[in-house]
């Protein structure tokens, strides 16, 4: 997935992350990411990418191809949004591991299954540590 | 949280339009998750190939009462409005957020084990064959966007277009309300 989305280079990425205030610990939902993209890139999409569907990187590739003409706000939004979505996906993938010890302590006897364990962890605020708590927040599962 | 509320596409459209701030967005994503997660214990998986077969065998007769299609009414589902460029599979930027909300719901632990069917509907304006074809390509475009840009596992996504064969308002097949996208939980991923 990373290679599909990372149209832009890493050096630009860091500059833009600072600029747009998308910090390392902040992840955003797909809904908010999509809203930002529509807001900052909607006009460019309609101008340069007519008839193209969002899927399979077509819009990202199209905007990258027209980068010279695409608005700077769109370019930076695309980079920031892509990075924070990657972080959220990474957080979602890592919750099980990061929270394993807390789950073993707090959720003994809970019916197995990701959703049940999550429900237990969300309630066990006294036992769940900061790292697990942050991972759940970053995953967007609060 | 009743599923029935979401049978009315207008309800969710209004909800999504009002979802400007983080609180409201949170609420509607939770509602999507809860709506789609209400799986009956006895529910058996839907066979998408059979749906396509029934659709192809009954052109122009409506499909809501056919054996496989009639079962869909019992599944967890909702309707949304997703706008496309004219005669195209290009989703309007104004509808990106709706796709994002769906993606957030499908990434939630409660729904991770399930697969989903995107059904595209049109109203009865224009050529029926063209409507059927366009609705299929648009439903496929939505599934494709969810499966790539929004990182939902592609083996959890299916799509089918039914043109105007299943109007929400059978008395007014040309009404704009009939143009809608239906998302259904069709059972556990094998």
| Chain B residues with beta carbon closer than 8 angstroms to that of A118 | 109
Beta strands in B60-113 (DSSP E): 77-80
Instruction: Output the pLDDT for position B20.
Output: 37
What pLDDT is recorded for position B41?
A: 67
Q: Which tokens go with B156?
A: 């959890």
User: If you ran DSSP here, which 8-state letter would residue A91 be given?
Assistant: H
Q: Which of residues 9-28 of A touch B (CB under 8 A)?
A: none
Indicate the number of domains in chain B.
Answer: 1
Residue A1 has pLDDT above 90, yes or no: no
C-beta atoms of B93 and A37 within 8 A: yes
Using the Cβ of B125 and the Cβ atoms of chain A, whether some distance falls under 8 Å is answered with: no
> Residue A124 pLDDT more than 80?
yes
Map tokens 């050096």 to a residue.
A11
A92 touches chain B (CB under 8 A): yes
B99 near A CB under 8 A: yes
CB contact under 8 A, B101 and A31: yes
Its pTM surpasses 0.90 = no
The β-bridge partners of B114 are B188
> Average pLDDT for residues A95-111, to the nearest whole number?
94
Which residue in A34, A51, A118 is closest to B97 by CB distance?
Answer: A34
Q: Give the pLDDT of residue B12.
A: 42
Question: Any idea which residue has 């006294």 for tokens?
Answer: A126
Interface mutation vs chain A, best among B93, B107, B154, most A CBs within 10 Å: B93
Instruction: List pLDDT tens digits, range A42-85.
Output: 999 999 999 999 999 999 999 999 999 999 999 999 998 888 88
Question: Quick check: B96 and A89 CB within 8 A?
Answer: no
- Where chain B has pLDDT below 50, the residues are 1-27
Q: Which residues of A touch B149 (CB under 8 A)?
A: 5, 54-57, 59-60
Residue B165's domain spans which residues? Answer: 4-188
B30-57 tens-digit pLDDT: 888 988 988 876 666 789 999 999 999 9
CATH code of B138's domain: 3.30.1330.60
- B31 CB neighbours in chain A (<8 A) are none
Instruction: Compute the distance between CA of residue B118 and CA of residue B78 in angstroms, rounded to an integer.
Output: 10
Q: Which residue has the higher pLDDT, A121 or B16?
A: A121
Which residues on chain B are in Cβ contact (under 8 Å) with A32?
Answer: 22, 25, 100
From the CA of B66, how many Å to the nearest CA of chain A? 32
The ipTM value here is: 0.80
Q: What 8-state DSSP symbol labels residue B159?
A: E
* Partner-chain residue, chosen from A31, A60, A114, that has the shortest CB–CB distance to B29: A31
Residue A125's SS3 state is coil
Q: What is the mean pLDDT of chain A?
A: 84
Cβ within 8 Å of residue A11, ≥6 positions away? none
Statement: residue A38 has pLDDT above 50: yes
**d(CA B110, nearest CA chain A) in Å:** 5
CB B158 within 8 A of CB B144: no
Contact of B101 with A31, CB cutoff 8 Å: yes
Q: Assess contact for B30 and A140: CB atoms under 8 A.
A: no
- Residue extents of the structural domains in chain A: 1-94, 99-142
A9: pLDDT strictly greater than 80: no
Q: Is A31 within 8 Å of B149 when comparing Cβ atoms?
A: no
Residue A3 has pLDDT above 70, yes or no: no
Q: A32–B22: do the CB atoms touch at under 8 Å?
A: yes
Burial B76-114 (b: 16+ CB within 10 A, else e): bbbbbbbebeeebbbbbbebbbbbbbbbbbbbbbbbbeb
CA distance B82 to B179: 9
What is the arithmetic mean of pLDDT over A3-19?
A: 42
């Amino acid at each position: 997935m990373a290679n599909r989305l990372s149209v832009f280079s890493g050096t630009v990425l860091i500059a833009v992350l600072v600029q747009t205030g998308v910090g390392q610990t902040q992840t955003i939902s797909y809904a908010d990411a999509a809203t930002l993209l529509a807001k900052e890139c909607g006009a460019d999409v309609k101008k340069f990418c007519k008839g193209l569907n969002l899927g399979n990187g077509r819009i990202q590739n199209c905007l990258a191809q027209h980068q010279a003409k695409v608005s700077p706000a769109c370019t930076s939004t695309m980079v920031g949004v892509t990075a924070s979505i990657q972080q959220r996906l990474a957080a979602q993938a890592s919750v099980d591991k990061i929270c394993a010890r807390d789950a073993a302590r707090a959720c003994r006897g809970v019916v197995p299954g990701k959703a049940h364990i999550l429900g237990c962890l969300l309630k066990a605020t006294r036992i769940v540590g900061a790292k697990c708590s942050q991972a759940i927040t970053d995953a967007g599962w609060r | 949280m009743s599923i029935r509320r979401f049978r009315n596409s207008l309800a969710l459209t209004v909800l999504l339009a009002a979802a400007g701030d983080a609180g409201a967005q949170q609420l509607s994503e939770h509602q999507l998750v809860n709506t789609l997660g209400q799986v009956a214990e006895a529910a058996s998986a839907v066979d998408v190939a059979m749906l396509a077969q029934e659709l192809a065998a009954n052109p122009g007769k409506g499909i809501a009462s056919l054996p496989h299609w009639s079962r869909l009414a019992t599944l967890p589902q909702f309707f949304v409005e997703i706008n496309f460029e004219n005669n195209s599979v290009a989703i309007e930027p104004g509808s990106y957020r709706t796709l994002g909300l769906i993606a957030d719901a499908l990434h939630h632990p409660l729904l991770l084990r399930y697969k989903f069917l995107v059904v595209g509907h049109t109203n009865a304006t224009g050529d029926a064959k063209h409507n059927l074809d366009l609705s299929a390509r648009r439903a496929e475009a939505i599934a494709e966007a969810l499966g790539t840009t929004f990182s939902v596992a592609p083996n959890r996504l299916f799509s089918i277009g039914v043109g105007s064969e299943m109007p929400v308002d059978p008395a007014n097949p040309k009404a704009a309300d009939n143009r809608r996208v239906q998302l259904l939980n069709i059972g556990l991923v094998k």
